[in-house]
Amino acid sequence: MPKYKDLIIKEIKAIPISFPIEIENRVRLGIGNSIKNDAVIVKVITEGGLIGWGEAHHGRCPGAIAHLINTTIKMLVEGQNATDINAIWNIIYRNQLASHGMGTGACLALSGLDLALWDIKGKYLGLPLYKVLGGSRKSIPTYAGGVALGYQPTERLIEEARPLIEQGYKALKLRVGDNTTDDISRITGIRKEFGESITLLTDANTGYSLNDVRTIMPFLDELNVGWLEEPFPAHDYRSYYEAKKLGRTALAAGENHYTRFEFNRLIEEKNITILQPDLSKSGGMTEVIRVANLASSWMLPIHPHSSKTALNMAASIHLLSAIDNSGYFEADVSKNNLFRDHLTDEKPYNVDENGVVRAIEKPGIGLDVDEVFLKNHPVIEGSSYI
């Protein structure tokens, strides 16, 4: 086991990466047309040579998020003990979040660093992250999600869904937020084709107005849809309040809410009951565990959002294995996601024939990043959705 001084953080480095999405694999959804994939990988090295890997969400400007980590956060955190995770979290909270508001960029950067520190802690202890967090290697139910199952004719959507169901998935998340007529026809078609044994979830990616929800909610209720995710932008609290009164389908959100302070409001207002913090956005493992504990006291489950890379996906399964109120793991079933399949030495998860996943058994998050892959996929500046 390394000595205390070996745990001192020697270097922090953030690497923004991208790859273009081929035209045939592009998906249209509520936030636009996906044209490339971005991520920010955070590497932390200690004096003793331990290496931690984390992922910060790109915030649609991956170069900027990486720059924040490579300048301000690097200056604040290098020289600290890598296992003093709460103390480091508080340094960034005091310097960045508390004094400048709940800024998205700072929270994304903090999230990536935090995950890398938990990876180091697991490696230091020689334990997989879920064990460090007090969890067990339980079966985690999984739904087919990610940037997939988008706006296409119902027949083609059925053909995209069929192999997923044959593979073992018991739940699918469909993209809505297009127009309510086509959205209703797609959900109805999938429900008719695959029957009631499949759980259907929907995600509008902020594409709806309140009137749209007024139109579609009776159909979601009738078709027994599990949740309607992000009909509105994260901060549009009034529309969520009004939408809650329109039917019984649960409202979901959280991938664009930051820290326990914003989740506290969601929970207390009781309009959004499906909570979806993202480890690479909401404040890292440290903060999402706090959110999960807060939600647990209200008997609400956590269904983490899990873009973009294998690191966040594997970390999300560790999280779900550790909390008492675990919900679904979101599997990214998009075609040709290089960050899921080729960034690391092994796949972040395997969905079995019962539609469940289990955590990786290696120390830390359990994945080694291929540094040649990082070099070969330099950042492409600009928005990933147009």
Q: Which of residues 281-310 bind Mg ion (CB under 5 A)?
A: none
| Cβ closest to Mg ion, residue 114 vs residue 203 | 203
Distance CA 151, CA 179 (A): 10
Distance CA 259, CA 242 (A): 24
| Cβ closest to Mg ion, residue 47 vs residue 203 | 203
Long-range contacts of 106-110 (CB under 8 A, 24+ apart): 106/68, 107/258, 107/259, 107/281, 107/282, 107/283, 108/40, 108/56, 108/57, 108/58, 108/59, 108/65, 108/280, 108/281, 109/14, 109/40, 109/56, 109/65, 109/68, 109/69, 109/73, 110/73, 110/283, 110/284
Distance CA 151, CA 29 (A): 6
Cα distances (angstroms) measured from residue 74 to each of 61, 210, 244, 303: 19, 43, 43, 31
| Cβ closest to Mg ion, residue 145 vs residue 283 | 145
| Cβ closest to Mg ion, residue 81 vs residue 152 | 152
Count of residues making up the chain = 386
Distance CA 225, CA 203 (A): 11
> Stretches 222-230, 322-330, 342-350, 353-361: which one binds Mg ion (CB under 5 A)?
222-230
Q: How far is the CB of 31 from Mg ion (least distance, A)?
A: 9
Q: Which of residues 89-118 bind Mg ion (CB under 5 A)?
A: none
> Stretches 109-117, 202-210, 265-273, 376-384: which one binds Mg ion (CB under 5 A)?
202-210
Asked if 300 contacts 275 with a C-beta cutoff of 8 angstroms, the reply is: yes
| Cβ closest to Mg ion, residue 38 vs residue 229 | 229
| Cβ closest to Mg ion, residue 229 vs residue 262 | 229
**Given candidates 114, 183, 203, 330, which one binds Mg ion under the rule CB under 5 A?**
203
Interaction of residue 212 with Mg ion, rule CB under 5 A? no
| Cβ closest to Mg ion, residue 203 vs residue 287 | 203
- Rounded to 5 degrees, what are φ and ψ at 174? -95, 145
Residue nearest to Mg ion (CB): 203
Q: How far is the CB of 336 from Mg ion (least distance, A)?
A: 20
Size of the site for Mg ion (CB under 5 A): 2
> Stretches 5-13, 227-235, 341-349, 356-364: which one binds Mg ion (CB under 5 A)?
227-235
> Stretches 88-96, 229-237, 259-267, 337-345: which one binds Mg ion (CB under 5 A)?
229-237
Per the structure block, which two tokens stand in for 126?
């020689």
Interface with Mg ion (CB under 5 A): 203, 229
